[in-house]
Structure 1
Amino acid sequence: MRAQSKMAASTADTSLLNVANELGENGDSVDEEALYRKLLMQAAEMQGLNQHGQEPVCHTVKPQPGFCIKTRNESNAKVFINVCKSAELPSPNDITEEELIKILDSSEPDYRVPLSIGEGHAEMDKTGKGCTAYDVMINTDFFEKVQKSNVFKGFLMSVVFEGLENKYNIQLERNWVQLKNRKCLGTLGEHNIRTKSKPRILEVESPNDENQGSPQDQPKKSLITEVEGTSDRVVAPEPEYIIMREPPEGHPEFLVIEIKLPGVKTAKTLSLDLGEDRVLLHAHPNLYHMDIYLPFDVNSDEAGAQFNKDNKVLTVTLPVHPFSV
């Protein structure tokens, strides 16, 4: 469960008329429907990696204790929430208290906080009575921000309560208290975190290249380098990009991102990482770095990517979930 996040990137309500005029076989242009189908077919092939066990679908994470909240459910029974932390979970967009307040005061509040909500486990309170505890994991950096700001802590707890209520169909009182002398109740269990999607990039060369074959004959370039925050990437410039939706009106079936990467010679130098609402791209060694949030939740497992060596444009196709929560 996440609160909604506002995206700083520009979104164009246009169709895919100009996505790639030079991506067809023998130099012929490809219409938007053909490009869409080609990228999705490519993405479907990639799912075989998980099916054959070459890349795990998820991995286990042991969270670190943070702080413990006590409240009650609709039956007046005690409920404890262990807010724990891990660097394995992505951090939400870094904003200030003032920016958060403006977002919450807007007509359509939109700010996302990635959470991992564990199963409830039976525990004993300090009087020896039975109770239920839930573990909710957030990013370590965001946890530190929450610890320093009552504004962010209050916002986080409203998101946590909503997430628990929606997932387990329960009702929780909002007059919660934080325990002073303990960081968690019971033993924190491991969380299964979904492995980030690593889409392959199909590299399209110039039709005049003597080594050019049909797109089906070209080897697919696998992106296996995970994009992580490092000091050298911070200074890399953000490339120009545009996000398009199809269809332009109403809830889109998919998003297409066109990213201009002048100076990039091959897809081998690109690292692309996708989440449900996030795109991270790095062009090695330090040409570009992009970290953006999307306006809709997408199915990253069925994403496709294509790099045109002629115009130096990376096209990423992202199927959109029927409903964004």
Structure 2
Amino acid sequence: MATDSSLLNSEVELQQQEELYQQLLLQASQTVGKMPSDPLDSKLIRPQPGMCVKTLSQPDNQKVFVNICQSPSVPPPPELSRDELVNLLQSEDPTGYRVPMSLGEPHTEMDNGSQSCTAYDVVISEAFFHKSQKDPLFQQFLILVSLEGLENKYNLELSRDWKILKNRKFFGSVSEQNIRTKSQPVIQELQPTPQFSLLVEPPVGDPEFLIAEIQLPGVQSSRALVVDVGEDRLVLTARPKLFHLDVFHPLVVDQGRSVAQYNTHTQILTVTMPVVSS
């Protein structure tokens, strides 16, 4: 697809005294339904449940559940024999061997006692997960590097006195995630999908506009936003790695006349897209 630039009208809080500026990248379609390759080289996946590990955060001793999920979209780590793993676990830095994984954002769940607790989703290679299920030593190593990854990303301290839940493959719910497919970072980061709604104007009769309202809590400025509009697709990335949205819609819109406005007070992005046909 060719690329056009259009205005991103940014409404900012007066107290911050930010200037309005352009930042909406609009994609002009040459092939219906075809978008250019994502600059982040990401794809939407639905991880498959694998096993659930229960541990405690330190020093407050709060319950933490780690859903170790699997996906063929995550590359496997370099081949590692059992003897090599034994030597690795005896070394000073057993996590020096890098396992590609995606670390999800924390989500709040309720335990069996109706108490609030925290859960994390970790996605690893399907092949490496199956290998860990055949050998307890590889399973121990997988749990260790998963805890290490979460600690490093979220500045946590997790107990090594963990327990694998026998009757549950995951705790809470495992949702679709966007992962990077380009092998840049060793540990890939999952980007949560923001809450959004699609409205048509007028609500009755032939639609003239398709309006997307996207909630972006924590995004302080429209400078963090990159928006791509296709004829039947809307892609949003909030940098650095805050949110990612990739949604198809049933209407054909005019990318060249589409505009976006971000309100930093409500932290809602509104994208108004003129409808070409329904």
Compute the TM-score of the two structures, normalised by the length of structure 2: 0.51
Distance (whole Å) between structure 1 residues aligned to residue 160 and residue 90 of structure 2: 20
Contact 1:116 1:191 in 2 (8 A): no
- Is the counterpart of residue 139 in structure 1 residue 121 in structure 2? no
Contact 2:107 2:119 in 1 (8 A): yes
Instruction: Output aligned runs, 1:1-325, within 5 Å.
Output: 54-56=36-38, 57=40, 58-74=42-58, 75-106=60-91, 110-196=96-182, 275-276=184-185
The letter for the 1-side match of 2:177 is H
Question: In the superposition, relative to structure 1, how do residues 168 and 107 fare at CA in structure 2: closer, same or farther (>3 Å)?
Answer: closer
Contact 2:50 2:70 in 1 (8 A): yes
Contact 2:52 2:65 in 1 (8 A): yes
Contact 1:66 1:82 in 2 (8 A): yes
- Report what 1:298 is aligned to: none
Offset at residue 89 of structure 1 (A): 0.1
Offset at residue 276 of structure 1 (A): 4.4
The letter for the 2-side match of 1:133 is A
Percent identity between the aligned chains?
47
- CA deviation vs aligned residue, 1:270-298 (integer Å, no higher than 9, x gap): xxxx5546xxxxxxxxxxxxxxxxxxxxx
Contact 1:69 1:179 in 2 (8 A): yes
Contact 2:57 2:158 in 1 (8 A): yes
Contact 2:73 2:181 in 1 (8 A): no
Offset at residue 189 of structure 1 (A): 2.1
Across the aligned residues of Structure 1 and Structure 2, the Cα RMSD in angstroms comes to 2.1
Question: In the superposition, relative to structure 1, how do residues 79 and 93 fare at CA in structure 2: closer, same or farther (>3 Å)?
Answer: same
- CA deviation vs aligned residue, 1:6-28 (integer Å, no higher than 9, x gap): xxxxxxxxxxxxxxxxxxxxxxx
The letter for the 2-side match of 1:112 is R
Distance (whole Å) between structure 2 residues aligned to residue 169 and residue 117 of structure 1: 13
Offset at residue 154 of structure 1 (A): 1.2
Offset at residue 126 of structure 1 (A): 1.2
Offset at residue 155 of structure 1 (A): 1.1
Please state which structure has a larger fraction of its residues in strand: 2
Segments of 5+ residues of structure 2 without an aligned counterpart are: 1-24, 28-34, 187-278
Contact 1:83 1:135 in 2 (8 A): yes
Distance (whole Å) between structure 1 residues aligned to residue 93 and residue 105 of structure 2: 31
Distance (whole Å) between structure 2 residues aligned to residue 102 and residue 168 of structure 1: 29
Offset at residue 119 of structure 1 (A): 0.6
Contact 2:50 2:69 in 1 (8 A): yes
Count of aligned pairs: 151
The letter for the 1-side match of 2:74 is L
Question: In the superposition, relative to structure 1, how do residues 153 and 51 fare at CA in structure 2: closer, same or farther (>3 Å)?
Answer: farther
Distance (whole Å) between structure 1 residues aligned to residue 158 and residue 93 of structure 2: 24
The letter for the 2-side match of 1:77 is Q
Distance (whole Å) between structure 2 residues aligned to residue 72 and residue 107 of structure 1: 24
Distance (whole Å) between structure 1 residues aligned to residue 110 and residue 142 of structure 2: 25
Distance (whole Å) between structure 2 residues aligned to residue 161 and residue 77 of structure 1: 15
Compute the TM-score of the two structures, normalised by the length of structure 1: 0.44
The letter for the 2-side match of 1:170 is L
Offset at residue 104 of structure 1 (A): 3.4
The letter for the 2-side match of 1:193 is I
- CA deviation vs aligned residue, 1:50-95 (integer Å, no higher than 9, x gap): 9966111211111000010111112111110001000000001122
Offset at residue 114 of structure 1 (A): 0.5
